[in-house]
Amino acid sequence: MATNILEVNMYRYNPEEDKFPYIKQYQIEKPAKDIMVLDLLHLLKEQDESISYRRSCREGVCGSDGMNINGKNGLACITPISSVLKKNKIELRPLPGLPVIRDLVVDMTEFYAQYEKIKPFLQNSTTAPEQERLQSPEDRDKLDGLYECILCACCSTSCPSFWWNPDKFLGPAALLQAYRFLADTRDLKTNERLEDLSDPFSVYRCHGIMNCVNVCPKGLNPNKAIGKIKTMLLKDKKEIITTDGAMN
């Protein structure tokens, strides 16, 4: 193949027309400058209007364009083609493990259902102060590396435990957020949250495979958060919460 031609192998599936998914090969002239995979998709869409994918902010903030790029999950908008090209070839597939709606668009219902289970909001029944619930800078620092998650699902859909039990194992994204609220000193439902996570599947099905850490486009570490949840679960719950709600 000429070195100025890119070969893009793309997963295609339109349930209204196709009985089975298939891989369609596209050839496109290699752009003069390094572009993102999302830009490459735009160029391909000019060739073939039927290609479907999600996108929105195109700068790694909305998390819409998570996909499997040459075997590794990532956000198309912040992945330069130079970083994934192998012998001038790129293979694009939908995020693995979730039902495909069409082409690179997956049904995220199961993913969001797990997120909903961890109750991703502050629970504090004490009277709210006039302005806001304050935290010390040290307590606020505990949330760094947790709140930045954009729910792109790259981590959960790269996790074999989530592939096999997406209805029981919460997955790294939801667990990162679960720890975000467990670590928040303003949240007073720590024991209840831990009780909800105490079954053998929700957290304990994580075997530390670390795919989540490997693929997170924001550089977060869900595995570390899961380890901290496990430590909290294995401790005596009475030790975790003091009377004023602060976490030991």
Partner 1 sequence: MKSGRLTWYLQRYSAIYFISFLVYLEYTFWTSGITFQFLSSNNLFKASLSIFILLACIHAYIGLWTVGTDYLTKRTLGFISSGLGASANTLRKIYEYIFILLGALIAALYILIIWF
Amino acid at 40: L
Site size for partner 1 (CB under 8 A): 16
Report if residue 204 touches partner 1, rule: CB under 8 A.
yes
Whether the Cβ atoms of residue 154 and residue 216 lie closer than 8 Å to each other: yes
* Residues whose CB is less than 8 angstroms from the CB of residue 43 and which lie 6 or more positions away in sequence, other chains included: 28, 31
Instruction: Return d(Cα 143, Cα 212) in angstroms, integer.
Output: 19
- Strand, coil or helix: 72: strand
Toward partner 1, which CB reaches closer, 72 or 230? 230
- We find the least distance from the C-beta atom of residue 9 to partner 1, in angstroms, to be 22
Toward partner 1, which CB reaches closer, 106 or 203? 203
Instruction: Return d(Cα 67, Cα 102) in angstroms, integer.
Output: 13
Residues 234, 238, 239, 244: which binds partner 1 (CB under 8 A)? Answer: 234
Report if residue 22 touches partner 1, rule: CB under 8 A.
no
Site string for partner 1, 124-163 (x = CB under 8 A): ------------------------------------xx--
Residues 27, 56, 198, 242: which binds partner 1 (CB under 8 A)? Answer: 198
Instruction: Return d(Cα 193, Cα 201) in angstroms, integer.
Output: 15
Residues 129, 137, 200, 219: which binds partner 1 (CB under 8 A)? Answer: 200
Identify the bridge partners of residue 8 per DSSP, sorted by sequence position.
26, 90
Report if residue 233 touches partner 1, rule: CB under 8 A.
yes
The two beta strands, 89-93 and 5-12, are parallel
Toward partner 1, which CB reaches closer, 81 or 212? 212
Toward partner 1, which CB reaches closer, 38 or 118? 118
Residues 26, 58, 201, 227: which binds partner 1 (CB under 8 A)? Answer: 201
Report if residue 230 touches partner 1, rule: CB under 8 A.
yes
DSSP E strands: which ranges in the chain?
5-12, 22-29, 66-69, 72-75, 89-93, 100-102, 105-106
List of residues contacting partner 1 (CB under 8 A): 160-161, 164-166, 198-205, 230, 233-234
